[in-house]
Amino acid sequence: MTGLRYVYAICHPFGTPLQAQLTGVAGDPPRLLHHHGLVAVVSHVPERDFAEGPLRSRLEDLDWLTATARAHQGVIDALTVVTTPLPLRLGTVFWDDSGVRVMIEEREEVFRRTLERLHGRVEWGVKVYAESEPADGDRSGAGPGDGLPAEKAVSGRDYLRQRRMRMRTNENMWQQAEAFAGRLHETLSAFAEDSRLHAPQNATLSGASGRNLLNAAYLVPREESEEFVELVDRTKDDVPGMRVELTGPWAAYSFAGEE
Amino acid sequence: MTMPSRVPEPYGHGSGANLADILERVLDKGIVIAGDIRINLLDIELLTIKLRLIVASVDKAKEMGIDWWEDDPALSTRARRSELARENAELRERLARIERLEPARTEEERESS
């Protein structure tokens, strides 16, 4: 069989078979490569897309990247259902199976240690958005809670007064929003085993409305996940104008790196 | 070997997952291993940086007050702001007139006294 080997994840051996119809990157079903008591989850990918040169240009193609990233995530997702995978970054490719075996041998110790640390744990993503962009100083008819109708100013002084009040309202709103995000992160990280703060996502890329104030990942044992989800749910309606988004369970991507 | 215990139903991912969330994890997190055809780790980082730059530059531009695209009816649904801007300009002009009538209240006057 020709083609390169694409590696999705390293796992401990597991007994449950993967879904039969699961396809990976480039449409090839993932298979298990056992070596030194560890399992690499691999599939075949064509050289025309995944050799170094082509991959470089392929990565610039957002449609291709999207499909590939979703396929990669699809396999990791399926693994998360049956075991605790150690997810690799997109685009980890070897010439053949023996290359994968050498890689396992070289990193055996790290893999075992990390798998041990992550065993039975999943990652939850929590994001907090401030729903309404506060109005900038020049715009009348500001956000909710503003309390000011967009009345026409009758004099210059009125105009300044209104403008000052709007700015103060905005400042207060941001302070409240940040305080809420901070409290939530404190509560959740106290519950979770570990947490990571990621850079806030920009709406241009995520397409989400509102401004992203908190973008965090929490490492939670599977059996405590339900409790964690409830904890997030309970805080959802605490502050008006705030939106809390939960994603997961993910493989422990954010905690897979070296410490 | 070990069967996982129950995991709640997936939230917000699966087929409908936000692409930004997936890219954030698949490109950016996870363990880094150089493949034996000297793949792409750098390239991926570069790409991520590039995406971020594109994205960040939108913010940066706004910070510097460059937000013409928001007033362009072809690019934004918020073009009605132009009307508000006009109204504001009117108000500013009016304010300036009032300040000229009350010279004692303007900065320059206070400084020179």
* pTM attached to this predicted model: 0.73
Q: Which of A127-141, A233-247, B82-96 has the highest mean pLDDT?
A: A233-247
Rounded Cα distance between A157 and B83, Å, is: 21
Chain B closest CA to A156's CA: distance in Å?
A: 4
Handedness of CA A36, B28, A132, B16 (dihedral sign): negative
Contacts of A250 in chain B (CB under 8 A): 13, 25
More confident residue, A208 or A187: A187
Distances (CA, A) of A234 to A36, A197, A231: 45, 21, 5
| A226 pLDDT above the threshold of 90 | yes
Domain spans of chain A? 4-118, 121-134+172-255
Distances (CA, A) of B40 to A15, A113, A124: 33, 25, 27
pLDDT digits (tens, 9 = 90+) for A9-56: 999 999 888 888 999 999 999 999 999 999 999 999 999 999 888 887
Q: What is the pLDDT of residue B56?
A: 56
CA dihedral B25, B31, B33, B39 (to 10 degrees): 10
pLDDT digits (tens, 9 = 90+) for A45-97: 999 999 888 887 787 777 788 899 999 999 999 999 999 999 998 889 999 99
- Which residue type, as a one-letter code, is found at position A16? T
Closest CA to A38 of A10, A5, A15: A10
Q: What fold does the segment set A121-134+172-255 form as a domain?
A: Alpha-Beta Plaits (3.30.70)
CB contacts under 8 A, A 12-71 vs B, are: 12-16, 51-52, 55-56, 59-60, 65-66, 69-70
Rounded Cα distance between B74 and B99, Å, is: 38
User: DSSP string covering B40-64, please?
Assistant: SHHHHHHHHHHHHHHHHHHHHHHHT
Contacts of A202 in chain B (CB under 8 A): 55-56, 58-59
CB contacts under 8 A, A 74-113 vs B, are: 76-77, 80-84, 86-95, 99, 102-103, 107
